[in-house]
Amino acid sequence: MIKVERISKSFGATQALREVCFEIKSGSVHGLVGENGAGKSTLMKVLMGIHQSDSGEIYLDGKPVSILGPEQANELGFRIVFQEIALCANLSIMENLFLGAERTRFGLMNFGEMEERAREVLEMVGLDFWSGVLVGELSVAEKQMVQIARAILYEPRLIIFDEPTSALTRDYIESLFRIIRGLHNKGVTVLYISHKLEEIFEVADMVTVLRDGRHIGTFAVEEVNEARLVQMMVGRELDLSVRRKEVKAGEVLLKVEGLSGDRFEGVGFEVRAGEIVGISGLVGSGRTELVESIFGVRRIKSGRVFLKGREVTGRSVLERIKSGMALVPEDRQISGLIFSMVLKQNLSLPGVVLGNRELGGIVVLPGSEADFARRAIEKLRIVVSGVDAEMMSLSGGNQQKVVVGKWLMLGPEVFIMDEPTRGIDVGAKAEIHNLIRGFADKGNGMLVVSSELPELLALSDRILVMREGRIRGEVCSDRACEEEIMRLAVGGINQEGVNQ
Amino acid sequence: MSKDFGKGVRSWFSRYREVSVFMILCLEVLGFYLLLSQLGYERGFFNTDNFLMIFKYTSIYGIAAVGAAMIIISGGIDLAPGAVIALTTVITGHLFVRFGLPLWLSGFCGFLVGLLSGGLASFLVTVIKLPPFIATLGVMGVTRGLAFIITRGGFYDLSGKIPDDFRLLGIPLDYWPGILMIGLAIIFHLFMVLTKWGRQVHAIGGNETAAYFSGVKVRRIKVMVYLIGGLLASLSGVTLAVVQGHGRADIATGYELDIIAAAVVGGASLSGGRGSVLGAVLGSLIFGVLRNGLYQIAGLTFYERLIVGIVVVVIVVIDQLTVKKESKAI
């Protein structure tokens, strides 16, 4: 049994954890939920010895332990699977698994022993690869499974999963759950941190809720439901069951005809003024490639794109922006934000490129830029210390608001958002949903790609479902149900396998 | 209170890097003055003629450092400026001495070297998509090689043909390197800080993908910085040829690294996105003063390279320490 008693931790003026107390029963799967900034990461870093708590104790089987560094945490049998990929792409799976803990004989690497053990753990996580394959050749989901294998390798007493499914495809999520159940049967304790509450209900026995660094409660999962958890996490309710009111769709703003490119083929659809059109499909179905091609950042093979009746095929990204298109990309870290620039410069970038008058035009006036940023901060309710804040100091939700805000300030008419709420907390999610609705209500066109079906159902007027690069169907959201969309997304053949 | 004050001062210094580099420069001049007074050499150091000399020698790489800083901020690197400077002096010297063309025309033709080498570098980087390190390594080889082919081991002496009291726009020749260096530093610094193009250079260096997704015409901006880099390097070359009167293939050898070091001392990050044009020029001046000061002390000339190396490392280490302290404070 692991007992956390009155753990507090502050960073400067921020109190990340306030006297948190709870117990993790040996051999249980314990869920840990909370918004971004609730203290989940800090708590797990304290357990792993990455941070030291300011006060409080950790008890292992009734005895107090001091965890001063990651080595001590490992000695106690604590292991963690991080959300980010922390593997060396240039080394093989086996070398990554044993990195820093190579098995040796007479001072030389004992490849035989390592390979055998590697094969065992790879089989456990369901990775059908030779352990000599380079990690760089694996997909993100496969890399994540290697990280999980790496944690299992050491036969830990406690294994912490930090948002493990954010990079995983459906198949691997299934196999992750299988692994967790297997660990559970072996008596390993699992601490499972996730934004996705349905996962908590699927694998966890117990769940602990944190909010603003405080322990709100620990429950057996049978005692609570999703709505109650969300309410505890945010102190208010996020209702995804509200569907959008019937809207009067206006003129066609975006029209795509027979568009083919890398990973998608023959795609055609329209987005009308006042409409929110969703795109659903599994990861890898070509959704991101499609919307990035519509925005002009990817090459197409054939097809045409019209914006307000004017053809923009072959036009540059800048010209599309000028004619009123905007894209919030899938990954804000990679293609949304520039971390060497401060907040106001990130917010103003597209405007600066356009030579926006509000910013001063060719010469970017510092005063106008700060005003511009202040208006965006107010409009999107971004929580920051000021217009000169470093992007790294913002939470995920606030970073995402910056990516939305930099476009919203330009007043686009066709706004494409790819996974607009990925990895952000419930509060920020609700605010972005409201922005999307408000934006469409003003008579603009909205195209939203999302992996979260409840989100798409709550937001969109109709949903296009993609599979293997083609649109397989369109469903109206008032009649749509998750099952129908899933059937279109995975195809009819292995329907039984999906429904189990 | 005093702790907050210290923090504020530190963050102000790291944001306005030019100010801290300028203060290091002032301290350096003061230090040399005091040191040389102790040794009885101060007369040779602290006077207008010597300061003009410092500007004259520093400008050779200081002008090129303006362009190099822009390239580094864009996330690239330029290994060509030393060689471009040399080829420019050779072309200018060849046309002026051999062919007897007027000085302005010879200088203008020298200037074209920068246009061509910058154009070649930007072609290799944006069209062939070579890494900037390799592309400019190639340009360096080609330009230095052409300089040797043209001179065939000889050199051109321009100074004999330029009268001693030659004035350009009424200003004596000796003042020009300093005026050009400081003037260009201010102009391009403002360009980088205030204009939309400068902002886009910063954006590309910070995150090229995000810049592209925001509508930045990445190729066009990159072509611009490599062209400016080439042109400013050859302007260094023309200045060198005219003011010092040399046209040689082996001149400015290894300057590309001094230029990069100056940019880094001035606050540039080799991973791109951060840096300052003014800082790079002030960094060049720090090296210029250091060389000049050491030169005045008998027996220290041979220590120059060693000391320059140590200074670069020390300044950058101090910088990283202050940055780390700041991020920890959050």
Beta-bridge partners for A306:
A255, A311
pLDDT of residue A456: 87
Assigned token pair, B44: 């040779």
Q: Nearest by CB to B215, from A350, A363, A365: name it.
A: A350
pLDDT of residue A259: 94
A103-117: average pLDDT: 80
Cβ neighbours, 10 Å, residue A470 = 16
Do B272 and A317 count as a contact with CB atoms less than 8 A apart? no
Residue A260: pLDDT band with limits 50, 70, 90: very high
A492: pLDDT strictly greater than 60: no
CA angle B292–B294–B299, rounded 5-degree value? 135
Q: Nearest by CB to B214, from A11, A334, A350: name it.
A: A350
Mean pLDDT of chain A, nearest integer? 85
pLDDT of residue B330: 35
Q: Nearest by CB to B196, from A335, A353, A390: name it.
A: A353
Residue for token pair 């698994």? A97
**Which residues on B lie below 8 Å from A11 (Cβ)?**
330
B3: pLDDT strictly greater than 80: no
Residue of B193, B194, B196, B326 for testing the chain A interface, max A β-carbons within 10 Å? B196
B204-225: average pLDDT: 94
Q: Pick the residue with more confidence: B326 or A133?
A: A133
B231: pLDDT strictly greater than 80: yes
Which of the 8 DSSP states describes residue A219?
E
A123-131: average pLDDT: 80
Percentage of chain B beyond pLDDT 70 is 92
pLDDT of residue A176: 84
Do B212 and A297 count as a contact with CB atoms less than 8 A apart? yes
pLDDT of residue B194: 92
Cα dihedral sign, A267-A269-A275-A278: negative
Helices B277-296 and B255-265: angle between axes, nearest 10 degrees: 120
Assigned token pair, B177: 């390197």
Mean pLDDT of chain B, nearest integer? 86
Task: Select from A484, A327, A305 the least CA-distant residue to A415.
Answer: A327
Do B209 and A335 count as a contact with CB atoms less than 8 A apart? yes
pLDDT of residue B66: 96
A384-388: average pLDDT: 87
Please list the alpha-helical segments (H only) found in A409-443. Answer: 426-441
How many Å lie between the alpha carbon of A386 and the closest alpha carbon of chain B? 14
**Which residues on B lie below 8 Å from A393 (Cβ)?**
330
Helix (H) or strand (E) holding A160: strand A158-162
pLDDT of residue B39: 79
A496: pLDDT strictly greater than 70: no
Beta-bridge partners for B236:
none
pLDDT of residue A279: 94
Nearest CA in chain B to A328: B213
Assigned token pair, B106: 């010879």
Torsion from C-alpha of A355, A361, A362, A367, nearest 10 degrees: -120
B326: pLDDT strictly greater than 50: no
Question: Do the beta carbons of residue A349 and residue B203 sit within 8 Å?
Answer: yes
B264-279: average pLDDT: 90
pLDDT of residue A289: 93
Cα dihedral sign, B24-B30-B33-B36: negative
Helix (H) or strand (E) holding B60: helix B48-73
Please list the alpha-helical segments (H only) found in B127-217. Answer: 132-151, 176-194, 196-206, 208-213
Interfacial B residues in 73-112 facing A (CB < 8 Å): none
Do A353 and B206 count as a contact with CB atoms less than 8 A apart? no
CA distance A424 to A401: 10
A235: pLDDT strictly greater than 70: no
Do A334 and B209 count as a contact with CB atoms less than 8 A apart? yes
Q: Nearest by CB to A339, from B196, B207, B209: name it.
A: B207
- Cβ–Cβ contact B206 with A under 8 A: yes
pLDDT of residue B327: 44
Burial of A410 (0-12, 13-18, 19+ CB in 10 A): middle
ipTM computed for the complex: 0.85
Assigned token pair, B283: 């960094």
pLDDT in tens, A54-77: 888 899 888 888 888 888 888 888
Cβ neighbours, 10 Å, residue B87 = 32
Across A408-422, B78-92, B118-132, B303-317, least confident range: B303-317
pLDDT of residue A372: 94
pLDDT of residue B209: 93
pLDDT of residue A242: 66
Q: How many residues does chain A have?
A: 500
Question: Do the beta carbons of residue A184 and residue A29 sit within 8 Å?
Answer: yes
**Which residues on A lie below 8 Å from B199 (Cβ)?**
345, 349, 352, 364
Cβ neighbours, 10 Å, residue A314 = 11
pLDDT in tens, A427-472: 888 889 999 999 999 999 999 998 877 788 889 989 999 988 899 9
Across A278-292, A483-497, B111-125, B271-285, least confident range: A483-497
Residue B50: pLDDT band with limits 50, 70, 90: confident
A487: pLDDT strictly greater than 80: no
How many Å lie between the alpha carbon of A349 and the closest alpha carbon of chain B? 7
Q: Pick the residue with more confidence: A131 or A377?
A: A377
Interfacial B residues in 240-269 facing A (CB < 8 Å): 269
Interfacial B residues in 264-303 facing A (CB < 8 Å): 269, 272-274
Do A364 and B199 count as a contact with CB atoms less than 8 A apart? yes
A403 in helix, strand or coil? helix
Residue B102: pLDDT band with limits 50, 70, 90: confident
Do B199 and A349 count as a contact with CB atoms less than 8 A apart? yes
φ, ψ dihedrals at A311, nearest 5°: -75, 130
How many Å lie between the alpha carbon of A391 and the closest alpha carbon of chain B? 12
Nearest CA in chain B to A365: B194
CA distance A81 to A180: 12
Do B207 and A11 count as a contact with CB atoms less than 8 A apart? no
A499: pLDDT strictly greater than 70: no
**Which residues on B lie below 8 Å from A327 (Cβ)?**
213
Q: Nearest by CB to A362, from B196, B205, B213: name it.
A: B196
Residue A243: pLDDT band with limits 50, 70, 90: low
Question: Do the beta carbons of residue A2 and residue A10 sit within 8 Å?
Answer: no
Give the C-alpha distances (Å, rounded to integers) separating A209 from A21, A213, A427. Answer: 11, 10, 15
- Cβ–Cβ contact B305 with A under 8 A: no
**Which residues on A lie below 8 Å from B217 (Cβ)?**
316, 318
A126: pLDDT strictly greater than 90: no
Task: Select from B134, B106, B105 the least CA-distant residue to B120.
Answer: B134
Q: Nearest by CB to A338, from B196, B273, B330: name it.
A: B273
A286-313: average pLDDT: 93
A172-192: average pLDDT: 86
What Rg, from alpha-carbon coordinates, does chain B have?
20
Do B210 and A12 count as a contact with CB atoms less than 8 A apart? no
Question: Do the beta carbons of residue A125 and residue A179 sit within 8 Å?
Answer: yes
Percentage of chain A beyond pLDDT 90 is 32
Do A335 and B210 count as a contact with CB atoms less than 8 A apart? yes
- Taking the CA of residue A208 as centre, how many other CA atoms within 13 Å lie in the half-sphere pointing to its CB? 25
Q: How many residues does chain B have?
A: 330
CA distance B66 to B2: 37
CA distance B206 to B262: 20
Q: Pick the residue with more confidence: B330 or B136?
A: B136
How do strand A206-211 and strand A29-33 relate by DSSP bridges? parallel
Task: Select from A292, A240, A230, A231 the least CA-distant residue to A261.
Answer: A292
**Which residues on B lie below 8 Å from A336 (Cβ)?**
210, 213
How many Å lie between the alpha carbon of A32 and the closest alpha carbon of chain B? 25
Question: Do the beta carbons of residue A370 and residue A387 sit within 8 Å?
Answer: yes
**Which residues on B lie below 8 Å from A321 (Cβ)?**
215
Q: Nearest by CB to A318, from B217, B269, B329: name it.
A: B217
